[in-house]
Amino acid sequence: MSKLMASVSGIRGIYGESLTAEIALKYAAHFGVFSGRGKIIVGRDSRVTGLAMFNAVTAGLMSVGCDVVNIGVVSTPTVLLAVEESNAMGGISITASHNSTEWNAMKFVAENGMFLFPENASALVSSFQNEVDYVGWDKVGKLTQDDNATARHIEKILNISYLNIKDIKAKKFKVVIDSVNGAGGLISPQLLKDLGCKVIEINSEPTGIFAHTPEPLNKNLKQLEEAVKEHHADVGFATDPDVDRLAIVDEKGNCIGEEFSLLLSEKFILSKVKGDIVTNLSSSMASEDIASKFGVKVHRTKVGEINVGKLMMEINS
């Protein structure tokens, strides 16, 4: 029997073993109370257990008085953006990220559209030991549907001030996209088409039955590498099931790896917007070389996305 993992990153387990609908309901209810019983936005990736998890999470939230907005099968960044640009008190992304099909999880989002800061996440985890204070029948929350979160996310990307959309469209890039049957199939191809690309899709249907090991590492992307060569594409992209990890395959069909993807991003952003780099202690020292070229500093944090995000906010990076 696997063990449920509850930490500052959320809760994660194998569905039907350490993670059940009953457990998901309880933890969601705790988060609803922690968030002041306000509106909560909920999205999920395409996992086969996602709908069961969603129903349990929704029941838990509504039972403590939270109104719930269902944004459906979406990327985790879409959940974050939806919370940030709303009056919601928080969000839950139902996803086990790059883990295999049998896993599922809940990632808790603060009202600012970021994952909970470590101190707040610790307070939430501590509250899991308490009894849930459910509301009476007349105070149960309501469920509404929002089908436009992905479209708004795409629009937000297309309106980034330093992207020259006209020039990108003029290139008419041929792109292969591997969404590993996750939520990416519902956003990545459309974004690329809106950028004027000719798109070759593989593993786009969001079935939750992943075509290969879902972590986008070089060893798992042979199909994408072959597709790039077969179609004489300019580039290939691979995402994990909730679209918060990206790998790039070059025009020769070689996966360049997540580390180089990060460095390319740093170099591009700094060519458009000057500011210090924030990255974690495990990433490449090449960030220092890039920072030096642009006359900025590198700040390193403990591993964990929220540690990077928090320091970015603190120093206005």
Catalytic residue among 35, 75, 97, 188: 97
Q: Which two tokens stand for residue 174?
A: 């041929």
Q: Are strands 40-44 and 68-73 parallel, antiparallel or unpaired?
A: parallel
Q: Which two tokens stand for residue 63?
A: 């039972």
Q: Single out the residue of 92, 125, 128 nearest to residue 111, CA to CA.
A: 92
- In whole angstroms, what separates CA 201 from the centre of its chain? 20
Q: Annotated catalytic, 204?
A: no
- In whole angstroms, what separates CA 263 from the centre of its chain? 20
Taking the CA of residue 298 as centre, how many other CA atoms within 13 Å lie in the half-sphere pointing to its CB?
19
Q: Which two tokens stand for residue 295?
A: 């006359």
- Residues with active-site annotation: 97
